[in-house]
A and B are shown apart, each in its own frame.
Chain A
Amino acid sequence: MVAKLLLGACIAGVMPAHSAAPQDDCKGPSEDCAAVGRWNFSVALGAGVRTNPLVNGEDIPLVVIPQVSYYGKRFFLNDLDVGWTLAENDTNQLNLVATPGYDRVYFYRTDLQNFFITGFSPSGQVDYTASPTVAENTPGAVKIPPRPRRITYLAGPEWTFKVGRISGQLDVLHEITGQNGGDEIRAALGIPLLESTGVLTANIGITWKSAAIVNYYYGDNTIYEGGAALDPFIKVGYTLPLAGKWRFNAFAEYERLGNAIANSPIVAEHSVATAFVGAVYTF
């Protein structure tokens, strides 16, 4: 229902400006603009890590990170996200998007999202353990039996906007693959801090996950049942063009897990940190 209301509001706010059509201010390839009908491939090579908040969860290495995108007149694909642009003008864009559920990356190294995060990481395809809760030698410890967390997709409207140099994004998503039926709201602002030869940008935002999603990943029928969770995050990134098709890239991100997630017995950390330093080659 929330998604429907937002979709209606966004359409009402954006549609009068323009129907879906290519932007007039996009005249050539740039950081903000992509050629319609062309595939874009890039790969990042470097060193980095994403921490895993699960008990006994192994951190996720960032070594080789492939990226792919395609923009049609309205259709687009960003790695594992697909979408359709309903309407846009110079500063607003309204899309319908489908995007994978994120939390599975902590449970399965083989999750497709980890391919786009770790790429061909040297640590190989290893499933994370989903069962351990408390050390087995702990007196009175209760063991949570492992259970699968399947690949899920969420879909819904997405509104992106730009006010001056600040850009914003709001996604209202609903799980559509029949696994948990949960909802998720993602909201973020991108703020350029320094723009010269290189660009320093800060992203701040939140991810709200309904109880259905939280419990699908972090709950247990007999031991733990969480409520909705609000995860705020901040990310600072720097990119600098290098020779040819190379550019330097470094970023650091900190995400605070909501209490409903952090309090789960299978979660050991209250936050997730990510850092990467490397170079990106665009084909």
Chain B
Amino acid sequence: MRQRLSVPFTPSRVRSEIARACLRGSLSVLFGSLSVLLQPPASAATDSGGDAIQLELSPRICTLALNDKQCDTLVRATWKSAREESLCLVILDRQDVKRCWEKYTEGTYSIELIFTEDLVFQLKDLQLQQVLASEVLRVIREAIRYRHKRRQPWNIFD
């Protein structure tokens, strides 16, 4: 899954640029503004370009069968970036899991995990202040259906 680092290049941002260009009333400015539109802003270019940090999980979903109480599986988290990064991989509400890299362009971390709810994996800066990328390992439970038990007055415990 591709994660963007900075401000996203959204449709509202495009409309704002166009309005400003019209106000200037100058064809050249308009052309200039249009050229700006055609060339995404610097931060957005970073987002959509090769600098985005990619974080991938394997598996991405844990399916609990009817008789399963928890997921117990080996999870592999892999990240890649076009430039060197210094960051840490953490799991939300699981302070026991933390793996950091300094000036790496990619990294892989495998860990055996037991969990019953969704796990949120995050890549953060070394100070653990800013979230650089995030991915969720989802838990899907097979729907449990219930029905009436059969009563047996002749049974010893009914």
> B145: CB under 8 A from chain A?
yes
Q: If the complex has contacts A38-B66, A38-B67, are A33 and B156 also in contact, measured as CB distance less than 8 A?
A: no
Judging by beta carbons under 8 Å apart, are A36 and B153 in contact? no
Q: How many CB-defined contacts (below 8 Å) exist between A and B?
A: 91
> A274: CB under 8 A from chain B?
yes
Judging by beta carbons under 8 Å apart, are B148 and A27 in contact? no
Q: If the complex has contacts A34-B146, A36-B145, A65-B156, are A169 and B66 also in contact, measured as CB distance less than 8 A?
A: no
**How far, in whole Å, are A33 and B152 apart by their CA atoms in the complex?**
14
Other-chain contact of A251, B67, B148, B151, B157 (Cβ < 8 Å): B157
A185 to nearest B CB, angstroms?
Answer: 12
Give a binary string over B139-150; 1 marks a CB under 8 Å from any A CB, 0 the rest.
000001111111
**With a CB–CB cut-off of 8 A, which chain A residues contact B150?**
76, 78, 81, 83, 93, 95, 158, 160
Category for how many chain A residues contact B: 35 or more
Judging by beta carbons under 8 Å apart, are B66 and A249 in contact? no
**How far, in whole Å, are A83 and B150 apart by their CA atoms in the complex?**
10
> B158: CB under 8 A from chain A?
yes
**How far, in whole Å, are A223 and B155 apart by their CA atoms in the complex?**
33
From 157 to 171 in chain A, residues with beta carbon under 8 angstroms from any chain B beta carbon are 158, 160, 167, 169
**With a CB–CB cut-off of 8 A, which chain A residues contact B146?**
22-23, 26-29, 33-36
> A224: CB under 8 A from chain B?
no
Which residues of chain B have a CB within 8 Å of any CB of chain A? 66-67, 144-158
9 closest residue pairs by CB, A with B: A188-B153, A26-B146, A203-B153, A36-B145, A33-B146, A22-B147, A34-B149, A22-B145, A23-B148
